[in-house]
């Protein structure tokens, strides 16, 4: 059980607002600390000398969160989501918002024994917030689940020669977003966000990545020689990195993370 406090990012305090009478004022200068209350319970059990099970459940309540009156679905809890919807709306905030995070996590770990190891982690959670209108919504980061698997097998070819196979994969829910579109103004376009009633209801496609590694290692008396190949994103999954728009055409474009990429490795350790 713990209670934490933190200040908003410094940039918020220097945000200027042009008032109806033409004056410019720092309307966020009165923002105070954001506060949170944490409650965590866990269970850690060594099933066998080489096998461990760990389970954990948590609850987090956040309060005094900056929100915006004339955009009731806005909350600073969504800041940093890297979309067009949250960045411009950072002035005239008041510290009256709240948020909640609840979830369970499971870890199963098989230590390296008899030439193989395995680590599996699962996290299932829900992240919500309330803006100025007091309506509970998903946060941008409420992708609901993350699963990770790391495993490997080592074969002894000769007394000091080893062939290794390793696997690493991640599957996670997609990030949530606020719907947006582009609007033409004279000879250029700009982003318009006017569907805040649908804020963070939809998610982008799930994230999935599978990496494989095959390596051969030779242990000498004073050095180790290793040659390997890392095969990144074996399934060639198109995971979204970020989206942007072309102000001259209004076209919204998507940039994806790396496609399938083999990376050779040669390493000598003394």
Report, as an integer, the average pLDDT of 143-152: 97
pLDDT digits 0-9 by tens, 163-216: 999 999 999 999 998 887 778 877 787 777 777 788 899 899 999 999 999 999
DSSP structure class, residue 187: T
DSSP-assigned states of every residue in 150-186: EEEEEEESSSSEEEEEEEEEEEEPPPEE---EEEEET
pLDDT in tens, 37-89: 999 999 999 999 999 999 999 999 999 999 998 888 889 998 877 665 545 56
* 1 has pLDDT over 70: no
Q: Which of 57, 55, 52 is nearest to 119 (CA)?
A: 52
In this prediction, residue 198 carries a pLDDT of 86
Asked if 98 and 131 count as a contact pair (C-beta separation under 8 A), the reply is no
Position 137 confidence tier, pLDDT thresholds 50, 70, 90: very high
Q: What is the mean pLDDT of residues 129-152?
A: 95
DSSP bridge pairs for 55: 43, 106
Q: Is the pLDDT of residue 267 over 90?
A: yes
Q: What is the pLDDT of residue 75?
A: 92
CA distance 172 to 116: 25
DSSP per residue over 192-211, as a string? E---GGGTT-EEPPPEEEEE
Measured CA to CA, the distance from residue 58 to residue 38 in angstroms comes to: 7
Q: Could you tell me the CA-to-CA distances from 109 to 44, 116, 144, 165, 262 in Å, in that order?
A: 11, 11, 22, 18, 28
Rounded mean pLDDT, 238-265: 88
Q: Report pLDDT for 236.
A: 96
Residue 248: pLDDT band (50, 70, 90) is confident
Rounded to whole angstroms, the Cα distance separating 37 from 29 reads 25
Binning pLDDT at 50, 70 and 90, where does residue 237 land? very high
Residue 2 — very low, low, confident or very high, per pLDDT cuts 50/70/90?
low
Nearest to 267 by CA among 193, 217, 222, 231: 217
Three-state secondary structure call for residue 78:
helix
CATH number given to 2-269: 2.40.170.20
pLDDT at res. 159: 82
Mean pLDDT of 252-263: 92
Quickly tell me which residue has 């004279």 as its tokens. Answer: 186
Nearest to 115 by CA among 148, 162, 150, 160: 162
Of 88-102, 135-149, 175-189, which range is least confident?
175-189
pLDDT averaged over the chain?
Answer: 89
Q: What is the pLDDT of residue 221?
A: 85
Tokens of 200: 């963070």
Contact 166, 154 (CB under 8 A): no
């Amino acid at each position: 059980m713990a209670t934490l406090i933190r200040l908003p990012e410094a940039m918020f305090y220097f945000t200027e607002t042009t008032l109806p009478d033409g004056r410019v004022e720092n309307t966020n200068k009165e923002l105070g600390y954001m506060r949170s209350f944490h409650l965590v319970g866990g269970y850690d059990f060594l099933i066998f000398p080489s096998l461990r099970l760990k389970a954990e459940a948590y609850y987090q309540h956040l309060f005094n969160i900056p929100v915006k009156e004339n955009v009731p679905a806005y909350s600073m809890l969504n800041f940093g989501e890297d979309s067009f919807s949250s960045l411009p709306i950072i002035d005239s905030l008041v510290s009256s918002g709240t948020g909640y995070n609840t979830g369970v996590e499971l870890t199963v770990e098989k230590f390296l024994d008899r030439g193989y190891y395995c680590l599996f982690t699962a996290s299932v959670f829900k992240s919500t917030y309330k803006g100025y209108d007091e309506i509970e919504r998903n946060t941008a980061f409420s992708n609901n689940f993350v699963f990770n698997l790391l495993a490997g097998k080592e074969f002894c070819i000769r007394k000091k020669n080893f062939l290794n196979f390793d696997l690493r994969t991640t599957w996670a829910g997609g990030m949530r977003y606020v719907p947006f579109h582009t609007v033409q103004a004279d000879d250029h376009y700009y982003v318009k966000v006017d569907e805040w009633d649908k804020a963070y209801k939809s998610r982008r496609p799930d994230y999935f990545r599978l990496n494989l590694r095959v390596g051969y290692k030779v242990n000498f008396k004073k050095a180790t020689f290793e040659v390997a190949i890392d095969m990144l994103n074996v399934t060639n999954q198109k995971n979204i990195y970020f989206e942007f728009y072309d102000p001259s055409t209004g076209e919204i474009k998507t940039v994806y993370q790396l496609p399938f990429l083999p990376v050779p490795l040669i390493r000598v350790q003394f």
